Structure 1
């Protein structure tokens, strides 16, 4: 029995001897606050105390592999150190026997702010602690000056540099109360990470005409202030008669604008016609306003004409027994064309799909696929790829603006031009100039899915019959 007890006690002693000793690395819970340019000590201790001479002590900020400071193999390793910290860090090696791994960081900069980790490798294990370093910078004494006068009073400007982080800014009056006006403040960071502050405010005269600019670093709880006394002569006086004069001028201008708008509304149609004529250099030439009508000639169902023969829409249907017609049966064109004169009609666009409209030559061979270009006998604009484009020879997708709801087509045979207008805003979209027209021209429409084109009604006599 005694022999068994002795064996148990002996085994217990061996286990206690073999059990590795555990250590804790202690930092600091509260942030360390240091002023720019000063030295900082980041505390780190091993508990229970043990010598660090044969261990690895690593300080790093963000990247473990790029240390702020590294002690390994009984020596510092500046070759592995982050270049921003070289020759600025130091360990207290005389304190190593007592387990002190604190780091001294010299001449701190704004960029040094952040979380640092103290990492110690005990060979059989490792421990670490984190320390939060806060940086504060007190800027230069503010410089305040009078910039000039404005309609709101006198403008004051205050400037100071060398702050970190961004300071709070406050304008005070002669009674050390906040100024009523709202200041405009900007912060600009320099190459050292410090802030230059520029603030300005418009102030009005009071009993003292004394104003101050206060900038405060809330982290360090320190502030700097600049004051300025403004002579009374700089504050503009309010001229009541001048105000009355400008109010009278504004009323006269408003009356004139309303009068112009009233007369424009009464003469709107006349001015629209004059606009189209003046664009060609004529003023008193007669314009024909044809009443465009649509007539179906085949049973082909790709497009469908309404019962009132005034609109056409895309159906996507096809009819096997349809008569031989256009290569692309989504086109619609006039059965009776133009050989002279000036003609104007409007087309309303309904839907968001693609379309084309304009003028086509009678010489087009409809049995072939033909690109919409002037050299092929087409003078059109259209909505393609979410753009309003003009189908020119140079660029078939020359963008000319947003899609209008209603488009005016104006043909002047003798002037050799075709013009397109936004009929809602009465604005010019595009004009084909210098066209050597063939013997006969026809209106043409082309539509696609989700879109219909509608001929707008007018009160003028005349007719154009459209076919497809």
Structure 2
């Protein structure tokens, strides 16, 4: 007989009592737990005896069993992850807890949980299959983290970091995943530590005052130093220097010059801005430590002031007379320089033109003799390659993908449906020899994943398969904001600008697969030389996100790339005409190349 555990009830009206349910369902010998976050199931109970009420309640529960299972299923499909609203303050050497919770609350015991630093590869703690996973955990967190399991059934998970270090300071991301749905939240940890008590001592007289030095060490973050007298009046410090040791703890040395002999006690306080706690030390400065003022100083200051005024007047008179003479002389020199500069500029322009012509000729000859060693400038490389007319093969396309516009455009059939596997398509014809290239225009949103390149036709392309040269794939792509090349291990392409048009260059005989940004002609990545066997086919893959890929028509070609040397216009026209941007048959407007060629200075 099905049994529903009742956790709480409360009356709703004067006509009867309403029973609110939440808990677990027991059918036969199996106990199936269904978390029911923020969901209330109510059944009317008539005003009768307790036994009669229990019998009727059991029959009502059996009638509502189907509705209960349906509502439980709907309530657990999606969720949100919520972190603490304010930064977590962690004291050096003590423990810290990083909490995250599910909204609505649901059972997280069978979910995949993770805490990371700036990227998913920097794992702090990973929980999966109801146990801790340490293979991908960062070395600095091994043995220092544990999961607080007390409230997993209520959707609350926390990571316990033992013996907090300075390196634990910064941003964290907690990650919850259940099936194909996942969410994440950010939280910040501020590490703080109180260092040693300040040490204050008198160094000696300083001009018309006394120099006092305050030192403290072992603080984090950078402490603040403040000088005060007995009444609480603040003194501006003469200097303040901070240093860090090998453990990234701060030491501070502040200097104060006290000029008032009646001050007496001076207090140096060192404040931790995160904990809002301070340590202070006072020192008494006896009046005999202050230097005695000399009666001749005021008279000497007046004499120096008068001498300064006299010297200033004499300098002004001499300067005016000299400026009149120099003005006449400068006018004559100016006319002579204009004539010389005009003649010199004409000679330099002619000389520069000759040097540029010779330099460009030498560089083009050097490139043509060793073009494989110069990965930049895509259009110079295209002189050695032929355009491959790529046509997508609809029969090889995943059932979620759509191939249209003369078999040149690849998009999702239904972008609103989430897909947790790789969906790919091949070109219609394979390549078995020669040097070929083609271009692909990409339009994608921020959170998306795609790859493109070449592969063998017999590779496995079902489910969430792996792409690597060992498995017959030579591809690069994008995941969210980052670009990568799928080597073994994968290579992340840092400082990469957004790619809108990518050129794929395949040299079959040399085993070379290279990728270029066809907007500015810059080099993206080249795979190590490989030994190909069998035909290689153009390959496009979309995993998630609003992504569309268009194979560019090679009939219109790419305009705006640096033209070959034997097709250069006269250099005088080149110097007077602005450099045009890149464009292509895909209709993507470009900009002048930002990256210089390896052949250019």
TM-score by length of 2: 0.40
Q: Secondary structure at 2:231's aligned position in 1? A: coil
Report 1:109-148 matches (<5 A): 109-148=165-204
Map of 2:251 onto structure 1: 196
Is 2:146 the counterpart of 1:90? yes
Deviation at 1:269, TM superposition (A): 12
Map of 1:5 onto structure 2: none
Deviation at 1:173, TM superposition (A): 1.5
Q: Secondary structure at 2:234's aligned position in 1? A: coil
CA RMSD of aligned residues (A): 4.2
Deviation at 1:61, TM superposition (A): 2.4
Deviation at 1:12, TM superposition (A): 6.9
Is 2:211 the counterpart of 1:226? no
Structure 1, unaligned runs of 5 or more: 1-8, 273-309, 311-343, 358-370, 373-381, 386-468
Q: 2:126 aligns with which of 65, 70, 76?
A: 70
CA–CA distance in structure 2, aligned partners of residues 266 and 128 of structure 1: 77
Q: 2:270 aligns with which of 212, 215, 218?
A: 215
Structure 2, unaligned runs of 5 or more: 1-63, 349-601
Task: Select the structure that is richer in helix.
Answer: 2
Map of 1:50 onto structure 2: 107
CA–CA distance in structure 2, aligned partners of residues 354 and 87 of structure 1: 80
Map of 1:425 onto structure 2: none
CA contact (8 A) 1:205 1:232 kept: no
**CA spacing shift, 1:63–1:254, aligned 2, 3 Å:** same
Is 2:93 the counterpart of 1:37? yes
Q: For this pair of structures, how many residues does the alignment match?
A: 282
CA contact (8 A) 2:208 2:290 kept: no
Deviations 1:272-326 (A, max 9, x none): 9xxxxxxxxxxxxxxxxxxxxxxxxxxxxxxxxxxxxx9xxxxxxxxxxxxxxxx
Deviation at 1:49, TM superposition (A): 4.2
Deviation at 1:260, TM superposition (A): 8.4
Is 2:334 the counterpart of 1:349? yes
Deviation at 1:239, TM superposition (A): 0.7
CA–CA distance in structure 2, aligned partners of residues 383 and 186 of structure 1: 56
CA–CA distance in structure 1, aligned partners of residues 258 and 116 of structure 2: 51
**CA spacing shift, 1:349–1:106, aligned 2, 3 Å:** same
Map of 1:60 onto structure 2: 116
CA–CA distance in structure 2, aligned partners of residues 265 and 98 of structure 1: 88
Report 1:210-359 matches (<5 A): 210-245=265-300, 247-248=302-303, 251-252=306-307, 255=310, 347-350=332-335, 355=340
CA–CA distance in structure 2, aligned partners of residues 262 and 51 of structure 1: 89
Q: Secondary structure at 2:107's aligned position in 1? A: coil
CA contact (8 A) 2:76 2:106 kept: no
Deviations 1:412-467 (A, max 9, x none): xxxxxxxxxxxxxxxxxxxxxxxxxxxxxxxxxxxxxxxxxxxxxxxxxxxxxxxx
Map of 2:224 onto structure 1: 168
Q: Secondary structure at 1:205's aligned position in 2? A: coil
CA–CA distance in structure 1, aligned partners of residues 330 and 337 of structure 2: 22
CA contact (8 A) 2:237 2:254 kept: no
CA–CA distance in structure 1, aligned partners of residues 315 and 84 of structure 2: 78
**CA spacing shift, 1:353–1:264, aligned 2, 3 Å:** closer
CA–CA distance in structure 2, aligned partners of residues 78 and 55 of structure 1: 17
TM-score by length of 1: 0.50
Map of 2:242 onto structure 1: 187
CA contact (8 A) 1:354 1:383 kept: no
* Higher RCO, Cα 8 Å, sep 6+: 1
Q: Secondary structure at 1:64's aligned position in 2? A: coil
Deviation at 1:118, TM superposition (A): 1.9
CA contact (8 A) 1:24 1:48 kept: no
CA–CA distance in structure 1, aligned partners of residues 65 and 312 of structure 2: 111
In our comparison, the structure showing a higher alpha carbon Rg is 1
Q: Secondary structure at 2:135's aligned position in 1? A: helix
CA contact (8 A) 1:355 1:383 kept: no
**CA spacing shift, 1:239–1:101, aligned 2, 3 Å:** same
Deviations 1:123-165 (A, max 9, x none): 1422334333222222211111222322241121212122223
